């Protein structure tokens, strides 16, 4: 078990120009991917991307959130159902998560995903933050290839587990339990109403030479499944990946799910796909069956449930 030892001041890496006080007090042991970690009660949490922040806000933890880091790909927080909560905390950066930002903010907890926020290449990992006395929590669905402590959980189950773990870390387990119960009921209703069969679905994220898309370890694959669909790339072990257009043609999706984010609009993405000669034989293109999924419905967070409900209604409408 990794222990966070309370000390008065923890020296930080050279050049960071700040020190972090480690508060004393009781700890609670909670899993971080496959590792058991002791957590102090956080008071200055930093969230990376909408999914992390939304989880904290959905649990009523706004008062414990210092701020958020929101890269440009994320839609404006003013469009979020948690817009009022975002307005109460600080936007720390509109770039990628980095160590200096977290240190300068005197964060005592960072919530992000493995290789979605935390990154060996960019020099910000849970292990490195442990050495600085800064706690971290990771999205369970991103843990499948976390070095040393992997954990494989289906994405929607991972969302529930994240809420349960954050509820334990922040000492509000009853809030987490109530929220999970509500989400499970909503997903069960989507599954109960799903059309018979598994409609083949392809997610288009971006890309021209090779499309970026979803493999089996990200929320859209679960959204498709509970709604009555099947990701045509569910046999690809990974999170976000890319394939050749010939694979899309061979697997003949009946629906194309469009990831709505970035500088290219969903309408422009649809127009591009319709313009590709290679896709003219694909049933989804022939029948003009495109569904637009919001960015925050596609990453681990409470809005995944909204995405499942919306996609379920869309597939039922095709019957």
Q: Domain boundaries in the chain?
A: 28-186, 195-318
Closest Cα to residue 294, out of 141, 69, 72, 79?
A: 79
* CA dihedral angle for residue 317, residue 180, residue 30, residue 114, rounded to 10 degrees: 20
Superfamily of domain 28-186: Nitrogenase molybdenum iron protein domain (3.40.50.1980)
Closest Cα to residue 220, out of 195, 257, 185, 183?
A: 257
195-318 CATH: 3.40.50.1980
> Is the pLDDT reported for residue 198 higher than 90?
yes
In the DSSP assignment, the letter for residue 163 is H
Tokens of 185: 């009921």
Spatial distance between the Cα atoms of 124 and 13, rounded to a whole number of angstroms: 12
pLDDT digits (tens, 9 = 90+) for 132-174: 999 999 999 999 999 999 999 999 999 999 999 999 999 999 9
What is the value of pTM for the model shown?
0.89
> What stretch of H or E contains 28?
strand 28-32
Q: Do domains 28-186 and 195-318 have the same CATH topology?
A: yes
pLDDT digits (tens, 9 = 90+) for 6-21: 332 333 333 333 333 3
Strand pairing report for 28-32 and 199-204? unpaired
């Amino acid at each position: 078990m990794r222990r966070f030892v309370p000390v008065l001041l923890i020296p930080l890496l050279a050049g960071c120009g700040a020190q972090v006080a480690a508060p004393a007090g009781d700890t609670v042991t909670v899993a971080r991917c496959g590792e058991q970690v002791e957590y102090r009660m956080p008071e200055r949490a930093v969230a990376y991307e909408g999914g992390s922040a939304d989880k904290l806000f959905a649990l009523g933890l706004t008062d414990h959130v210092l701020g958020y880091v929101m890269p440009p790909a994320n839609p404006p927080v003013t469009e979020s159902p948690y817009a009022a909560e975002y307005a109460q905390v600080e936007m720390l950066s509109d770039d990628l998560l980095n160590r200096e930002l977290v240190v300068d903010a005197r964060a005592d907890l960072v919530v992000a995903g493995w290789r979605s926020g935390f990154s060996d290449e960019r020099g910000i990992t849970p292990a490195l933050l442990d050495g600085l006395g800064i706690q971290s929590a990771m999205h369970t669905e991103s843990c499948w290839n976390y070095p040393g402590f992997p954990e494989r959980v289906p994405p929607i189950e991972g969302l529930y587990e994240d809420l349960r773990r954050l509820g334990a870390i922040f000492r509000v387990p009853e809030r987490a339990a109530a929220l999970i119960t509500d989400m499970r009921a909503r997903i069960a209703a989507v599954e109960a109403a799903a059309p018979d069969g598994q409609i083949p679905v392809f997610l288009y994220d971006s890309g021209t030479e090779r499309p970026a898309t979803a493999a089996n370890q990200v929320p859209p694959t679960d959204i498709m499944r509970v709604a009555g669909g099947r990701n045509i790339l569910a046999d690809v072990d990974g999170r976000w990946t890319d394939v050749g257009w010939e694979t899309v043609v061979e697997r003949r999706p009946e629906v194309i799910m469009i990831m709505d984010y970035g500088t290219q609009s969903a309408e422009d993405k649809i127009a591009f796909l319709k313009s590709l000669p290679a896709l003219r034989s694909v049933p989804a293109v022939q029948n003009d069956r495109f569904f637009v999924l919001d960015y925050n419905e596609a990453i681990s967070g409470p809005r995944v449930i909204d995405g499942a409900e919306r996609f379920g209604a869309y597939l039922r409408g095709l019957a």
